Amino acid sequence: DVKVTQSSRYLVKRTGEKVFLECVQDMDHENMFWYRQDPGLGLRLIYFSYDVKMKEKGDIPEGYSVSREKKERFSLILESASTNQTSMYLCASSPGTGERNTIYFGEGSWLTVV
Amino acid sequence: GNSVTQMEGPVTLSEEAFLTINCTYTATGYPSLFWYVQYPGEGLQLLLKATKADDKGSNKGFEATYRKETTSFHLEKGSVQVSDSAVYFCALRNNAGNMLTFGGGTRLMVKP
């Protein structure tokens, strides 16, 4: 089975702190994604990466950056956390393109910024 | 651009009731359509998918048919169980792309 692991399930951070959310997948997938989930808004794409050291902005990249130094690991960085970034963050990965390109999700990281 | 609209919840049903969660979409070309389920405290799991018009996706008693003429992909189940209580997300992906566009999610609560 594909496994997408998010290292932290629950975090509480202070406003202005730098926050790292880590994600690792074990299936040699090309693509990795970070989504944010908020009630009534569904999932919104923050950033995605289709290769090592490559990244593309999603729908809501402001206030976030990402790093993909190794194929299996994709990190989401909040340079200076703010209260409006309190949310559930979901990492995902997929093997490539085309009809068989199923996207697999991690269990999510609940971030509270106080 | 792409968009997905699904019915707002919560949807509250008694066990063994019939379930429909509506989903309509706007997209260019011929997208693939998905239903994901999120159980409490967990991430999203793929429930079913359909990749072309008139395809029917099915899994765990749930079904959805890709209707191009009405741009819809409604989720149905004939007899829900308490264990089906979760949030359900409809999503689409253009076959040339890698990314999913999600609806807002519908919370289903099934009472014994």
- Tokens matching residue B81: 């169980």
Whether the per-residue pLDDT at A89 is higher than 60: the answer is yes
Q: Do A50 and B98 touch (CB under 8 A)?
A: yes
User: Mean pLDDT throughout A19-44?
Assistant: 92
Interface test with A, best of B35, B44, B88 (most A CBs within 10 A): B44
Nearest to B15 by CA among B96, B91, B102, B81: B81
pLDDT (tens digit per residue) in A37-72 = 998 788 999 999 999 989 999 989 999 999 999 999
User: Is the pLDDT reported for residue B100 higher than 60?
Assistant: yes
Question: How many whole angstroms separate alpha carbon B11 and alpha carbon B68?
Answer: 26
Q: Locate the DSSP E strands across A2-72.
A: 4-6, 10-13, 19-21, 23-25, 31-38, 42-49, 56-57, 65-70
pLDDT band at residue A95, thresholds of 50, 70 and 90? confident
Question: Is 90 exceeded by the pLDDT of residue A1?
Answer: no
Segment B1-42, tens digit of pLDDT = 889 999 888 999 999 999 999 999 999 888 999 999 999 888
When scoring A30, A41, A54, A105 by the number of chain B Cβ atoms within 10 A, the one with the most, hence best to mutate, is: A105
